[in-house]
Amino acid sequence: MAIEFAGTTTVTTTAQDTFVYVAADDPLAQPLLTDLAAEYHSRYGSYFGESASTEISRYPVDAFAAPDGAFVVLVRDGIPIAGGAFKRFDERTAELKRIWTAATHRRQGLARLVVAELEAESARRGYDRVFLTTGPRQPEAKNLYLVTGYTPLFDTALTPDEVVIHAFAKSLDAQELDVAGITAAHYSAIRREHSDNPRFAALIPESD
Per-residue pLDDT of the chain (208 residues; tens, 9 = 90+): 333 333 455 554 555 899 999 999 999 999 999 999 999 999 999 888 888 788 898 899 999 999 999 999 999 999 999 999 999 999 999 999 999 999 999 999 999 999 999 999 999 999 999 999 999 999 999 999 999 999 999 999 999 999 999 999 999 998 999 999 998 898 888 888 887 877 776 776 665 4
- The CATH fold assigned to 2-203 is Aminopeptidase (3.40.630)
Write out the E strands in the chain: 2-5, 8-12, 17-21, 70-76, 79-90, 93-101, 129-134, 151-152, 166-171
Query: 155, 144 in Cβ contact below 8 A?
Result: no
Query: 94, 87 in Cβ contact below 8 A?
Result: yes
Q: Please state, in angstroms and rounded to a whole number, the distance separating the CA atoms of residues 81 and 31.
A: 9
Look up the pTM and report it: 0.88
Break the chain into its structural domains and give their ranges: 2-203
